Structure 1
Amino acid sequence: MALPEVLLTAVGGDGTCGVRAWALPSALPLMAYRGGSTAPRSMCVLRGEYVLAAQAGKQYINVWETQRKDQLQQKVICPGVVTCLVASPDGLHIVVGIAESLYVWETSSGGLLDVLCRHYQDIMCLSFADDGGHFVSGGKDNLAIVWSLAGILRNGEPRHVWNQHTLPVMDVCCGVGGVRARVATASLDQTAKLWELGSGLLLFSVVLGMPVTAVALDPAEYWLFCGTSPGTISVVPLHTTKREQMVQINAEEKNCLRGHKAEVTCMAVTMDGGMLVSGSADGTVCLWDIDSGQCIRTIPHKGPVNALLLASRLRGVLSNAEARPSLPLPRFSRLPRTAEAGGGTDFFIAPEEQIYSNVLSSWMGSVGEQQSSSLSTDFQWDSSLGFGWATQGLSCLVLKAFLCCFGCMLGVIVLLEATTWLPGPCKELDHGYS
C-alpha cells in the first residue's frame, strides 16, 4: 500500500502565507507554516522533520519543524541571497545556490563541505537524483551541470557540463534509477531536453515553440511534462516517441493541459504516476488526472506559487503526534572547514596528536607537577587553534621544536646556577654574565 502524500506549496509576494500543507487528492488544508515569502524553487523537506524555505530577496532560510504549525523555529543565515535550494533524499546534505556559486552543507554537523564555482551567472534550479549521489544545477549561463558528491569531496570538479541550451535553464528534474536515471531540463530557448545522467548523452530535444519554464517526469518515465510561459502544459509521451534527436510539439495538440493563466513555475508527479500537480504565477495550484488530462482540483493562493513538492513522510502532519525531531538542526558554517581552521572553531584534536600530548604530559611530570599541568594546558589550547587540522608530520615537527627550545632553556638555567658556587674562572664567567 502506497504511503499517503502531502502537498507542500510556497508562495511569494505575501509575507504572511509562508508554506502550506495540503492533503491529496482532496486538497484539504493540513498545516500552515507562517513566516515570509519564498524565493522561486527554494523549498525542501529535510528527513521529514523540517521544512526549509529561502526568504525571497534575503540572506537567510526559514526553518520549521513539521509537527509544529505557525511557529518559526530557526533561521539559517547564508553568505548571500538564495536563488535555489535542495536537500538530498537521505537528508544528509543541503545544496544552496547563491548567485553563481553552490554551497554544499553537511546537515549532521553543519559543516560547509565546499563552495562550487563552475557557473558564471546566477543559478536558477537544483535537483537531486533519487540515490542522493548526484545533483544537477541549471543557471542563467545556459549551462546544466551534473555534480557527484564523491567528486566534490575529491577534487570539486563536475561530472558533466551540458551546454546545448542557448538561453537560461529554468528548471531541471531527475528521474529514478540513481546513476542510470534520466534528467530533463527546461529552457527559455523553447526546448526541453532529456539526458542520461551516467553517460551525459543527450537523448532527444523537444521543441515547443514557446519558452519552457518548468519540467517534470513521472516515476515510470512514460511522460515528460513541459510547463510554458503562457500557462499551458505539454505532455510528451516517452514510451511511444521515436528515437529521433529532435521532436516538434504543437501547442494545439490534444496532449496539452490548459488551466493556468500565467507562467507555470513548478510541477511534480505523485508516486503512483496518476496525478500531476502544477503551480503558476497566477496564484493557483492545479491537480491533473494524467490519464484523462482533466483538472480535478484547483487550489487558490494569495500570491504567485514559487515552489511545490510532494512528501510521503512528514512527522506530525497526517497525525496528531507531537514527537520532536530525532536530530536537532545544527548551526551552519559560513566558511569551509579549511578556511576556519585558523580560527580555532568546530575542530578537534586528532587521535595521533592526542597521543603526543599525553606523552609530553607524562614526561613533564618529572620536572614538576605545577609546571607540567600549566604547560599541558597551554599545549591543549594551542591544539584547538591549529593542531586539530594539521597533519601528523607537521605535529611531529612542532613537537620536536618545542622540546628543543625547552631543553635549551633548561641548559641556560643550569649554567647560571652553577656559576654561583664554582670557584676560579667560573666566578669570572659569572661576572661576565652579570
Structure 2
Amino acid sequence: MAAPLEVVVSSDSGSQLWNCTVFDPHSGSSLLSYRGGNSSARTLTVLRGEFLLSAQLGKNFINVWEIQRKDQLQQKIVCPGVVTCLTASPNGFFLAAGVAEAVYLWEVCTGKLLSVLSRHYQDVTCLKFTDDSSHFVSGGKDNLALIWSLCSVIQLDLSHAPDPRHILSRHSLPITDLHCGLMGVQARVATASLDQTVKVWELSSGELLLSVLFDVEIMSVTSDPCEYFLFCGGSDGNIFQVSLCSQSLSRDKSFQSDSDGNQVFKGHRNMVTCLSVSMDGTLLLSGSHDETVRLWDVQSKQSIRCLAHKGPVTNAVIMAAPANMFLPDSRPTVPLPRFSRHLHATEGDSAESGDVCVRLGLYTQEEEETYLQKAERLNSLMNAVTDKSVFGDGENTKVRVAELEEEVQTLKKINKDLVRLDVVGPQVHPSHSCEHTVGINVRNQAIFSLRAAG
C-alpha cells in the first residue's frame, strides 16, 4: 500500500499502549505508534519533518522521537519548568515553549536559549507560529494574546526585553486556543476563550475583525485553508461552523444555526479539546474528553470515522506525512543538540561546548540598506566599470604611456636629422631634382606630424 499524503497524529492522557499514534485518515488503520509517557494538551509538534515532540504531562521535559522509528525509547529535553504549550517554526529553525507565564525560545541548530519572554501575567496556554516563521502568537490565562515578531526577539542585546508587536486584549476570560491562518504577516488570527467568544484579528495591525458570541465556553478553534469557515469546539461537545463569507457579516454577532453556512457538528459527549482541517478543506478532525477522535465530512456534517482512545484526547492533528515517516532505514540529517536551560551561558559552558554559534536570521538585526543607497551604490559601480572599459585599468594605462613616450623620442630624432639636412643641404644632381622635392615633402610631413603630437 502506498504511503498516505496526509496522516492523523493524536495523543491522550491515558497512554496505556502508546504516547502518540499515527492513523490513516481514509481507512482508520493505525500506521505508527510512539511509546513512553503521555502528552499534555497543545504540545504535539513536528520538527523539520524528522522529529516528533510533545511535552510530558505535568513534568518539566519534552519527549522526542525520530519520526520514522516506531519502536524506540524517546529522548528528553529538560526544561526550566512544566511545559504548558509547545510549537516549532515551520522552517525548523526555532522551538518555542510556554513555561508558567514565560515563553522560551531556542535555536534548534545549536540548542541555545535565545530569549525568555515574560510579558504574560499568568500561565501561557497556547503558542502558534505563522506559516512563514516570521511571527508567533502566544495566548494565556491573563486573557491576553500577544503577537511577537521573531526578528525582534532574537536580538543580541539581552539587557533589553523585547516588546510584542501587538497586544490583543479584548477577551474577558482566559484564552483556551488560537489559530494562525496562511499568508505570513498578512494572516488572520483566531482566538478562543472561556468568555464564550471567538475573535478574529488582523496580525499585521492587531485590529479586531470579528467577534462571535456562543452559548457555551469555546475550548478549541481552527479554520479551513481558504478561510471560508471557522470551526469552534464547545465545552458541551458541539462543534460550531461559522461562515466567514456571509453577506450580512458584522463585526459583533451571536452564533445562530442557519442555511447561510452556520452549522453544528453533533457527536461528541464531552468538551472538544482540539480541531484540525485537511489540506483540501473537506475533512474536519476533532478530539474530545470523551476519549474519541472523530473525522467529519465538512459538507454533510456527518461523522465518517471514530477512533477510540484510552483516555481524554489531548492532541489531534491532520498533517502532511513527512517524506521519511515510512522509511525505516532513514535517519535525521542533523541530530538534535543539547538544549540549554539558561539564557546567559557561563564561560565554562561555552568553553566545554567548543562550537561556533551561527545565529540564523541575525542579518535582520542590522540596519537595512534603503533603495536610494542601493541606487547610489549601483551607480558608482556602473561608473567604475565604464571608466575601466573606456580608459583601461591602471596597468594597461602605464603600458600605453610608455609606448607613446617611445614614439615621441623616435619622432624627435627624425626631426633632428631633418633639420640638420636642411641646414647643410645635400648636393643634388639636376636629374635628381624630383627626388629631392619628394624628400622635402616627406620631411615637411614628418615635421607637421611631430608638431601635432607634441
TM-score for the superposition, normalised by structure 2 = 0.73
Equivalent residue in structure 1 for 2:245, among 231, 239, 245: 239
Quote how far apart the aligned CAs of 1:310 are.
2.4
Please give the alpha-carbon distance, in whole angstroms, between the structure 2 residues aligned to 1:142 and 1:340.
36
Please give the alpha-carbon distance, in whole angstroms, between the structure 1 residues aligned to 2:48 and 2:268.
32
Quote how far apart the aligned CAs of 1:156 are.
1.8
Q: Deviations over 1:353-410 (max 9, x none)?
A: xxxxxxxxxxxxxxxxxxxxxxxxxxxxxxxxxxxxxxxxxxxxxxxxxxxxxxxxxx
Equivalent residue in structure 2 for 1:306, among 305, 314, 331: 314
Bigger drift between 250-259 and 60-69 goes to 250-259
Equivalent residue in structure 2 for 1:334, among 313, 318, 341: 341
Equivalent residue in structure 2 for 1:212, among 207, 214, 218: 218
Query: Superposition pairs for residues 265-304 of structure 1, below 5 Å?
Result: 265-304=273-312
Quote how far apart the aligned CAs of 1:108 are.
0.7
- Identity across the alignment (%): 48
Matching residue of 2:184: 178
Letter in 2 for 1:90: N
Equivalent residue in structure 1 for 2:331, among 324, 334, 345: 324
- Classify the secondary structure of the residue corresponding to 1:40: coil
**Structure 2: unaligned runs, 5 residues or longer:** 156-160, 358-454
Please give the alpha-carbon distance, in whole angstroms, between the structure 1 residues aligned to 2:322 and 2:70.
13
Matching residue of 1:411: none
Quote how far apart the aligned CAs of 1:331 are.
0.6
Matching residue of 2:272: 264
Please give the alpha-carbon distance, in whole angstroms, between the structure 2 residues aligned to 1:252 and 1:222.
16
- Classify the secondary structure of the residue corresponding to 1:150: helix
Please give the alpha-carbon distance, in whole angstroms, between the structure 1 residues aligned to 2:346 and 2:315.
34
- Classify the secondary structure of the residue corresponding to 1:38: coil
Bigger drift between 240-249 and 224-233 goes to 240-249
**Do residues 128 (structure 1) and 129 (structure 2) align?**
yes
Query: Superposition pairs for residues 16-415 of structure 1, below 5 Å?
Result: 16-154=17-155, 156-240=162-246, 242-250=248-256, 255-317=263-325, 319-336=326-343, 338-341=344-347, 343-345=349-351, 346=353
- Classify the secondary structure of the residue corresponding to 2:154: helix
Please give the alpha-carbon distance, in whole angstroms, between the structure 1 residues aligned to 2:277 and 2:355.
45
- Classify the secondary structure of the residue corresponding to 1:297: strand
Please give the alpha-carbon distance, in whole angstroms, between the structure 1 residues aligned to 2:101 and 2:334.
31
Quote how far apart the aligned CAs of 1:70 are.
2.6
User: CA separation of 1:244/1:18 partners in 2, compared to 1, >3 Å: closer, same or farther?
Assistant: same
Please give the alpha-carbon distance, in whole angstroms, between the structure 1 residues aligned to 2:198 and 2:312.
23
Quote how far apart the aligned CAs of 1:252 are.
8.9
Please give the alpha-carbon distance, in whole angstroms, between the structure 1 residues aligned to 2:67 and 2:190.
30
- Classify the secondary structure of the residue corresponding to 1:171: strand
Contact 2:286 2:295 in 1 (8 A): yes
Please give the alpha-carbon distance, in whole angstroms, between the structure 2 residues aligned to 1:221 and 1:340.
47
Q: Deviations over 1:221-274 (max 9, x none)?
A: 000000000000000010115341211113698700011100100011111111
Contact 2:191 2:198 in 1 (8 A): yes
Quote how far apart the aligned CAs of 1:311 are.
2.4
- Classify the secondary structure of the residue corresponding to 1:179: helix
- Classify the secondary structure of the residue corresponding to 1:110: coil
Please give the alpha-carbon distance, in whole angstroms, between the structure 2 residues aligned to 1:61 and 1:107.
14
Please give the alpha-carbon distance, in whole angstroms, between the structure 1 residues aligned to 2:30 and 2:221.
26
TM-score for the superposition, normalised by structure 1 = 0.77
Bigger drift between 253-262 and 339-348 goes to 339-348
Contact 1:92 1:106 in 2 (8 A): yes
User: CA separation of 1:171/1:241 partners in 2, compared to 1, >3 Å: closer, same or farther?
Assistant: farther
**Structure 1: unaligned runs, 5 residues or longer:** 351-434
Contact 1:341 1:347 in 2 (8 A): no
Quote how far apart the aligned CAs of 1:15 are.
5.2
Matching residue of 1:384: none
